[in-house]
Chains A and B, each alone.
Chain A
Amino acid sequence: MSLNLVFWIFGVVAMVSALLCITRKNPVSSALWLVVTLFAVAALFVLLDAQFLAVLQVLVYAGAIMVLFLFVIMLLNLGRPGPSDIKGPVAVGGGVLLAGALLFLLRPLSQVTLSSTITLPPGSVPALQLRQGIVGAVANPLFGTYLIPFEIASVLLLAAIVGAVVLAKRKL
């Protein structure tokens, strides 16, 4: 099987499960279809030479974040059958129309060609990963060029921890 065919298979899985995610009326099945999408996107990451990010995607998104979502859904007891939360036909029609317009605007993305002055020669990312290791290829710029954004991200996560505790606790 060619790489392109495998890529499209995972891409179609991602798109179909994303569609199911936004159309299921039960939030639990929505969340589980989103997990399928995230796994398919992780597979696409592997095919695009980003193996470390694929592992992170499974660990952080499909693992931690989706467990948080499912935990809140269970905590609020939203999984029971009830009236659908999908808006009326007018709102759905408007939403589909606006989404179609957005897709039309994003259509040129699939025909984009990068100029040869900014592109690397093909195969240079796998060569870099062979030289520095798959983690090292991401870690070296992360702890070099992008050190200050990295530290700011750690402060952001600390603020998020404190904020989440303050918001979720009834009384401090």
Chain B
Amino acid sequence: MLLSPALAISAVLFTLGVAGVLFRRNAIVIFMCVELMLNAVNLTFVALAQNIGVGGQVFVFFVMAVAAAEAAVGLAIILAVYRHKQSVSLQNMNLLRDG
């Protein structure tokens, strides 16, 4: 059975995505790490779909649609921020921080 290795690999991929979000400053790289996490979850869905039924594969389809929408809107936001700040570093995006 491939269930256990698939779940182990997806856990590692998700953790790497979280680590990337934690120690990068570039907004675009952080976005890519979020995509990595979504992919890890997709792998879990597919691995369980093999054992439980194709409903999991349908759900991966929806996750991909949401990820595509999220990437389009997120990159548009990053472009808009870049136009204001001339930078995509998250250190400069502190408009809502008090003090």
Contact = CB atoms under 8 A, between A and B. Distances in A.
B45 to A, nearest CB: 9
Contacts of B88: 76, 78
Nearest to A50: B46
Interface residues of B, number: 71
Nearest to A157: B69
A81 interface: no
Interface in A63-117: 64-65, 68-69, 72-73, 75-76, 78, 85-87, 91-92, 94-96, 98-99, 102-103, 106-107, 109-112, 114
A165 B77 CA distance: 10
B24 A48 contact: no
Give chain B's interface secondary structure class: helix
A103 to B, nearest CB: 5
A167 B77 contact: yes
A30 B29 contact: yes
Contacts of B53: 120, 125
Given A45-B46, A110-B7, A27 B29 contact: yes
A122 to B, nearest CB: 8
Contacts, number: 235
Contacts of B93: none
B62 to A, nearest CB: 6
B89 to A, nearest CB: 6
Contacts of B79: 72, 75-76, 167-168
A67 B99 CA distance: 39
Given A22-B20, A92-B23, A160 B15 contact: no
Contacts of A95: 19, 22-23
B32 A34 contact: yes
B2 A119 contact: no
A107 to B, nearest CB: 7
Interface string B9-50: 111111111111011111011011101100100111011111
Contacts of A72: 28, 75, 78-79
9 smallest A-B Cβ distances: which pairs? A95-B22, A22-B20, A160-B69, A167-B76, A110-B8, A99-B19, A106-B11, A95-B23, A11-B9
Given A48-B6, A85-B26, 5 more contacts: A31-B32, A69-B31, A72-B79, A153-B62, A167-B76
5 contacts: A27-B26, A49-B50, A72-B78, A109-B8, A157-B68
Interface of B: 1-20, 22-26, 28-29, 31-33, 35-36, 39, 42-44, 46-55, 57-58, 60-62, 64-73, 75-80, 82-83, 88-89
